[in-house]
Amino acid sequence: MDKSEKLALGLSGLLLVIFFGAIMYAAVAKDIDVPTCITDMDPFTTDTLFQTAPDTYELQMVARMWAFQPSTVRLPVGSTVDLYVTSQDIIHGFKIEQHNVNLMAVPGAINYIRVRFDRPGEYMFACHEFCGAAHHTMAGRFIIEEGLDEPETEEEI
């Protein structure tokens, strides 16, 4: 082995030890924790849909292999939804047909968009980022109905 190769290997090994030591120092001496997954905390521990104002709702949606929670959301016509999307495991996509909604569901991050449903009907949403073997099953729907008093969410298995 060449002298310069030994020097490069030695320096890279020394850098690894220094970086590992810095991480251990931060964890022990400075009491710095590694960030946790957002889905371990409220309100993302359960699918949450609640009303924040007349005709305005907030929905926290979690993407999991290979489903969205909630998978079905029923809302009255004219609803505005503040939609917060995150992922529990890997990167997923989130796209609602007939609306300008196209988000990425990323673990440890929350993406937000406001969407309004002015016409009754079913609006499908699906994952548009390949996420594994059952990616094609990762879909759900917003059901927008006339005369609906209480919004609701459903899980379809």
Q: What is the pLDDT of residue 29?
A: 85
Where along the chain do its domains lie? Answer: 1-34, 38-154
Q: What is the pLDDT of residue 156?
A: 54
**C-alpha to C-alpha distances, 86 to 34, 92, 93, 108, nearest whole angstrom:** 18, 9, 10, 7
Q: What is the pLDDT of residue 28?
A: 86
104's CB contacts (< 8 A; 6+ apart) are 91, 92, 93, 94, 111, 129
Rounded Cα distance, 151 and 128, in Å: 26
Give 10-residue mean pLDDT values along the chain (157 residues): 92 95 86 64 71 91 88 93 90 93 89 94 94 91 85 64
Q: What is the pLDDT of residue 157?
A: 44
Q: Is 3.40.50.970 the CATH number for 38-154?
A: no
Rounded Cα distance, 52 and 76, in Å: 14
Kindly report the pTM of this predicted structure: 0.70
